[in-house]
Amino acid sequence: ATQTATAVDNKFLTSPWGEIQVGQETLTDFVFSDVESWADSPSVTCGASGRSYDYGMMRMMIERCACALAGPLKLGPGERLGLILPNIPEFVVLIHGAMRAGLVVTFANPLYTADEVTRQFRDCNVKAIATIELFMPVAKEVSKNLKDYKGTIWVGGEDDKGQGIYGLKSLLMADHQADLPTVNPDEVCLIPYSSGTTGMPKGVMLTHKNLVSNLKQTQCPKMMKYEGEKGKGDVLLTVPPFFHIYGFNGILNYNLKLGYHVVTMPRFTPEDYIKCLVEYQPTTLFVVPSLLAFLATHPSVKKEHLQWVETIMVGAAPTTDSMLEKFLLKCEKTKDQIKLLQGYGMTESSPVTLMTPYSYPYSKVGSVGQLVPSTQARVVSLTTGEMLGPHKSGELWLRGPQVMKGYWNNEAATKETVDSDGWLHTGDVAYYDDDFYFYIVDRTKELIKVKGNQVSPTELENIIMELPAVADVAVVGVPDPLAGEVPKAFVVLKPKQKLTEKDITDLVAKKLTRYKHLDGGVVFLESIPRNAAGKIMRNELKVLGMKRK
Ligand code: 4UV
């Protein structure tokens, strides 16, 4: 029987998949609750080096890491650990070790500049950093700007380096003993950064309850296939970063909970990815649209490389039907042989709110799916503010136990994003069809998505405004076949001032990580179009941006 959603008093839609019991466990306890059943199976493997830990070992290392953080590093409950780590197995040891010790974790893209990491880590009072050799110089630079700094954990380092630098291996080998606190699931345990609908990136306060609820929602047995199939030796290959909520909760925790074998890579290269496909023969791939495009179109990817794949999960940015078709063509498989699942989420919702059910009809390809259990939605008219019925596009509002507690230290932004009735205003434009499948059609918020990564226009605009010759600036996203979107700047110069495009692109390139660079270029204008309230009319600029390459 098909599931039907209900419209409650015409005020909102409920999930067709019913309710879950809101999580009462801590994230670490929940993710590893069945670990005894597959203690000898591999948990996470580094696809580049082959380094791998089984579940039993992983659980033990997490416990020891928690004791080391509480012991030698003297980090107490609620204090913040900052991670500057790529996708490696030890990511799991540190993040769950910290959560087990009652700490709060924030993670940064390891390719961020020291400026970018400093801003984030200072904002949420990071007291210790964990990183690998390659990023030690960044960690050192950042730590100089942090108050009451307690030490750096050197992942991959055998021994302590002195001067507050601790080798992870020696910390774990020493088997420190500490009284670990009882952690309350209502406490915040993760602060990822997101620019939300406007402005600079902000700390998103997620509790154990938020994250555990979302795992329960996405593993609803009726909606997915997993009932009775846990720990069966499924292998997945994943490159979306663990330092983003999709990679961390939507992929890593999701699969660890099920006892699957997570194969990942610290750095994406086509050669390594193909090598991993052949070596580990994954049955499931977790991708973002740009990686799907690579698999579908890159000549070095052959159908033999994909012969084991049964399921492919795409999330974090829009993908097209034609790309999904191209992927099937590459595999020489039919739509019945490979499941193409899509999901929609936001950092602010732990992240998943919409997902295609496992047995969805192929006619719905292109949809981001249905509401996950215990999740409610409204589609609200952009002009009148009233709730819209099927096939009408408006702003998507969502409510459920996965919605964040709020933005860290920013009540104004919290109030603008989550209203007093608990609705998260997504800033995305969507509609739903007669079967309550949702389709994302546009964005009202400023956010730019480059290969699934967030780029805040405000962050770029602030940097460009530092140039004395600049009078006004606006940055928008323009379409790009591979990246989805790329940032483009519109600049107004002060009278009699001169500046080249390169002056501007170089400055941004110096200050920000690669994917935030102005790959859409710079256009000089007489003035930036603004409405009566002074707000930049970004849609006008997007149209202009597409005309003036
Ligand atoms: O805050 P964020 O960077 O968060 C994410 C989270 C993505 C997902 C998606 C599916 C999953 O199953 C999952 O676990 C995690 O990207 O950016 C949020 C914004 O990204 C756009 C949309 O504008 C959000 O507000 N976005 C995310 N997923 C999709 C999307 C999608 N499937 N289609 C179109 N846009």
What is the residue-wise DSSP string for 8-22?
Answer: ETTTEEE-TT---PP
Q: How close is the Cα of 453 to the center of ligand 1, in Å?
A: 10
pLDDT in the model for residue 5: 61
Pocket test for ligand 1, best of 197, 223, 246, 455 (most atoms within 8 A of CB): 246
373 in ligand 1 pocket by Cβ < 6 Å?
A: no
The string of DSSP codes covering 132-189 is: EGGGHHHHHHHHTTSTT--EEEEET-SS--BTTEEEHHHHHHTT----PPPPPTTSEE
344 in ligand 1 pocket by Cβ < 6 Å?
A: yes
Average pLDDT, the chain: 93
Q: How close is the Cα of 151 to the center of ligand 1, in Å?
A: 34
Which atom of ligand 1 has the smallest separation from the CA of 254? 14
316 in ligand 1 pocket by Cβ < 6 Å?
A: yes
Residue 176 CB neighbour total at 10 angstroms = 17
Q: What is the mean pLDDT of residues 338-344?
A: 90
pLDDT in the model for residue 245: 97
Q: How close is the Cα of 442 to the center of ligand 1, in Å?
A: 12
440 in ligand 1 pocket by Cβ < 6 Å?
A: yes
pLDDT in the model for residue 256: 97
The string of DSSP codes covering 201-239 is: -EEEEEEHHHHHHHHHHHT-TTTSS-TT-TTS--EEEE-
Confidence bin at 139 (pLDDT 50/70/90): very high
pLDDT in the model for residue 546: 80
| pLDDT value at 2 more than 50 | no
449 in ligand 1 pocket by Cβ < 6 Å?
A: yes
pLDDT tens-digit series, residues 234-285: 899 999 999 999 999 999 999 999 999 999 999 999 999 999 999 999 999 9
pLDDT in the model for residue 337: 86
| pLDDT value at 1 more than 80 | no
pLDDT tens-digit series, residues 273-295: 999 999 999 999 999 999 999 99
d(CA 209, CA 402): 8
262 in ligand 1 pocket by Cβ < 6 Å?
A: no
d(CA 468, CA 357): 53
pLDDT in the model for residue 229: 55
Q: Report the percentage of the chain scoring pLDDT > 90.
A: 85
Residue 144's Cβ-count burial label (10 Å; 0-12, 13-18, 19+) is exposed
410 in ligand 1 pocket by Cβ < 6 Å?
A: no
Confidence bin at 129 (pLDDT 50/70/90): very high
Q: How close is the Cα of 346 to the center of ligand 1, in Å?
A: 5
pLDDT tens-digit series, residues 184-234: 999 999 999 999 999 999 999 999 999 999 999 999 988 886 554 555 568
Residue 477 CB neighbour total at 10 angstroms = 24
Beta-ladder partners of 341? 313
Pocket test for ligand 1, best of 288, 449, 450 (most atoms within 8 A of CB): 449
pLDDT tens-digit series, residues 461-490: 999 999 999 999 999 999 998 899 999 999
Q: What is the mean pLDDT of residues 406-420?
A: 97
Pocket test for ligand 1, best of 344, 403, 438, 444 (most atoms within 8 A of CB): 344
194 in ligand 1 pocket by Cβ < 6 Å?
A: yes
Tokens of 477: 């996203």
Residue 89's Cβ-count burial label (10 Å; 0-12, 13-18, 19+) is buried
Q: Report the percentage of the chain scoring pLDDT > 70.
A: 96
Q: How close is the Cα of 214 to the center of ligand 1, in Å?
A: 14
368 in ligand 1 pocket by Cβ < 6 Å?
A: yes
Which atom of ligand 1 has the smallest separation from the CA of 445? 23
SS3 313: strand
Nearest residue to 522 via CA among 495, 544, 496, 540:
544
Task: Tell me, rounded to whole angstroms, the distance of Cα 391 from its chain centroid.
Answer: 29
Q: How close is the Cα of 156 to the center of ligand 1, in Å?
A: 32
Confidence bin at 549 (pLDDT 50/70/90): low
426 in ligand 1 pocket by Cβ < 6 Å?
A: yes
The residue whose C-alpha atom lies closest to atom 21 belonging to ligand 1 is 317
Q: What is the mean pLDDT of residues 400-424?
A: 97
